[in-house]
Amino acid sequence: MIVLGIETSCDECSAAVVKDGEKILSNVIATQIPFHALYNGVVPEVASRKHAEWIYAVVKESLEKANLGVSDIEAVAVTNRPGLFGSLLVGLSFAKAFSWARNIPFIAVDHMLAHLYAPRLYKGEIGKDDYQTKKPEYPFLGLLVSGGHTIICRADDFDKIQVLGTTIDDAAGEAFDKTAKFYNFGYPGGVIIDKLAQNGDSAAFNFSMPSLHKGDHRYDVSYSGLKNAVINQLDIFKVKENYTKEDIAASFQKTAIEILLRALLNAAEDTGITTIVAGGGVAANSYLRARLKGYAHLECIFPPLELCGDNAAMVAGIGYHYLKRGECSSIDVCASARVTGFKKKYP
């Protein structure tokens, strides 16, 4: 089955064509980063306007790259939750119109579940360029780390997850972005901090771990303390010449990733599940990847770097499995900015 995927939940306008849920025939990602970089963060109004301007061209390019015409598409999958409401609506409305005009099924999918699905995709050959090096077997533990969410979950199927832990305040990616913003490193912060940290001393600053790792919060994470601690170093950083931005980046990154690892290792220990699947923009982080590879008892599966961030291939991929089961969405399904259970309220 040839599925067209559409993803417009945040600042990437993406369309992809995927065969039988796994083979990527095309995956076009038009990034809006230059437009948001001016503001050091995503401006929702700008994001939805750009999606509206670009969506037709992006879908058209995805068909051209797949060497297919409109009539070859058998179904449409689209992200309708969670994300920026106005941005989601652009992709959702386009997907509805496409499926209605063509009289083919359409399915609205969850963005975070789609991130978890990403390692199952391949392009060209299986295993080439890190694409589907290993197909994760259920159950596994999911580590979903993006700009808006931080979720540790147990996954029993592509659509069946149990959230074990979340962030009680900021998301992991948000902490990278905010740190970069305060230090004027640029936007988006994650990829810049990752790069700077490679030449920095992670012991230059000692940022402590949050004390949140016991009882009900054993699998939860918190980033507001770390964020404030890093920001509080800004004045010292400005006057002391022996501190470099590389040192700040490395010290921040080390603690940010250790926070994730602590909660994840607790979940692995308690559940006895040793396969970990990472997804979302922060899953591209080189320190996280290196640290996780260091645990011999865990099998860690990462999507290729191109599929860590937002992309429509993962949407088409997961969509196929719903459609195969005979499920599709009603034409009046709406977008939803939030998904219950993906964020925790303190305490």
Binding site for ligand KG4 (CB under 6 A): 10, 146-148, 173, 176-177, 188-191, 194, 280-282, 284-285, 309-310
Bridge partners of 31? Answer: 12
Distance CA 44, CA 319 (A): 26
The closest residue (CB) to Zn ion is 146
Q: Which does 86 bind (CB under 5 to 8 A by kind): ligand KG4, Zn ion, none?
A: none
The contact pattern for Zn ion, residues 119-158, with x = CB under 5 A and - = no contact, is: ---------------------------x------------
- Residue whose CB is less far from Zn ion, 169 or 310: 310
- Residue whose CB is less far from ligand KG4, 48 or 99: 48
H or E element at residue 167: none
Which of these, 42, 38, 130, lies nearest to 310 by C-alpha position? Answer: 42
Instruction: Check residue 11 for interaction with Zn ion (CB under 5 A).
Output: no
CB of 304 to Zn ion, least distance (A): 15
- Residue whose CB is less far from ligand KG4, 148 or 165: 148
Which of these, 24, 52, 278, lies nearest to 5 by C-alpha position? Answer: 24
Q: Cis check for the bond before 188: say yes or no (omega within 30 of 0).
A: yes
User: Structure tokens of 291?
Assistant: 């640290």
Which of these, 186, 145, 181, 147, lies nearest to 166 by C-alpha position? Answer: 145
- Residue whose CB is less far from ligand KG4, 98 or 252: 252
- Residue whose CB is less far from ligand KG4, 176 or 219: 176
- Residue whose CB is less far from ligand KG4, 99 or 285: 285
CB of 176 to ligand KG4, least distance (A): 5
Q: Which does 3 bind (CB under 5 to 8 A by kind): ligand KG4, Zn ion, none?
A: none
**Three-state DSSP class for 207?**
coil
CB of 155 to Zn ion, least distance (A): 16
Q: Which does 21 bind (CB under 5 to 8 A by kind): Zn ion, ligand KG4, none?
A: none
Q: Which does 41 bind (CB under 5 to 8 A by kind): ligand KG4, Zn ion, none?
A: none
Distance CA 289, CA 17 (A): 28
Distance CA 217, CA 211 (A): 10
Burial bucket for residue 322 (CB in 10 Å: 0-12, 13-18, 19+): buried
Q: Cis check for the bond before 347: say yes or no (omega within 30 of 0).
A: yes
Q: Which does 189 bind (CB under 5 to 8 A by kind): ligand KG4, Zn ion, none?
A: ligand KG4
H or E element at residue 47: helix 44-65
- Residue whose CB is less far from ligand KG4, 196 or 268: 196
As a dihedral over the C-alpha atoms of residue 72, residue 133, residue 283, residue 121, rounded to 10 degrees, the angle is 10
Q: Which does 220 bind (CB under 5 to 8 A by kind): ligand KG4, Zn ion, none?
A: none
Instruction: Check residue 310 for interaction with Zn ion (CB under 5 A).
Output: yes
CB of 256 to ligand KG4, least distance (A): 8
**Three-state DSSP class for 125?**
strand
